[in-house]
Amino acid sequence: MNDKVVQNALASAINCGVCARPLVYATESITKTCALCGKEEKTLIYCPAGHYVCDSCHSKAALEVLRQVLASSKTTDPASILEQVMSHPSVPMHGPEHHSIVPAAIVAAVRNSGYPLPEGAVEKALERASKVPGGWCGLYGDCGAAVGAGIAISVITGATPLTGKPRTLAMAATSQALSRMLDEQPRCCKRASRIAIQSTVEFLRERLGINLLQADKVRCTYSLRNHECARIQCPYYDEVFPEKPE
């Protein structure tokens, strides 16, 4: 497979990166082989022409960008980390990359604030979030960005299934973020990620006494790329930007 096909496959989340056909979001899984790594697995999201790229390969380039940003970032504003990473060309409009960006940005911002964290906290957040597959919101009923909020709190508090209060806090963070995403709109990974970050910043302040910076309200610049944009129903929609020439 040539470099251009690989690049397209990694960059697309709306259409197939190989042939540009709209992806199928099915309710019955089928077995597919990843066009990049050769791994065979069952999936609910695939190209009608038979092409398939697994979540791991799909996210690889974006996660490398994320790690580079996290390594140099000094800000205590997780929203600014989120926007910086999402603006990179390797991050698609939608996709499981966002499930990792959310908790990593939150944990990195807490780290930058000087709050004591477990060793390797950011990598722990990335490792856990990378296991949350694409399409989680509609297919399993829990948005991966909201799960990312819970992962962040779990890592920060050192939660395990046996730790009563930390475990409860992690689930409460997921629940709070998820409850704010109940908007009766099609998925938008940018919107969900922003909501999860905003919710978790408030959660950290109110429940754990950790005060992070909170940037001014973001005005979205991705509407033209999002075929299912909620437009005025989205709290981040910019009514001016979509009318500007490309």
pLDDT tens profile 222-246 = 998 898 999 999 999 987 765 544 4
65 touches 72 (CB < 8 A): no
**Considering only CA atoms, which of 224, 154, 56 is closest in space to residue 239?**
224
Segment 20-25 shows an average pLDDT of 76
**pLDDT in the model for residue 3:** 46
Segment 201-215 shows an average pLDDT of 95
125 touches 99 (CB < 8 A): no
pLDDT tens digit sequence for 172-202? 999 999 999 999 999 999 999 999 999 999 9
For residue 158, what are the CA distances in angstroms to 72, 99, 142, 162, 222?
A: 24, 20, 22, 11, 35
Most confident of 40-44, 113-117, 130-134: 113-117
Average per-residue pLDDT in the chain? Answer: 86
pTM of the entire predicted model? 0.80
Instruction: Round to whole Å and give the CA distance between 54 and 35.
Output: 8
Segment 196-223 shows an average pLDDT of 93
- Buried b / exposed e across 183-209, counting CB within 10 Å, b at 16+? eeeebbbbbbbbbbbbbbbbbbeeeee
Q: Which residue has the higher pLDDT, 14 or 176?
A: 176
Q: What percent of the chain has pLDDT over 70?
A: 87
pLDDT tens digit sequence for 82-131? 999 999 888 889 989 999 999 999 999 999 999 999 999 999 999 999 99
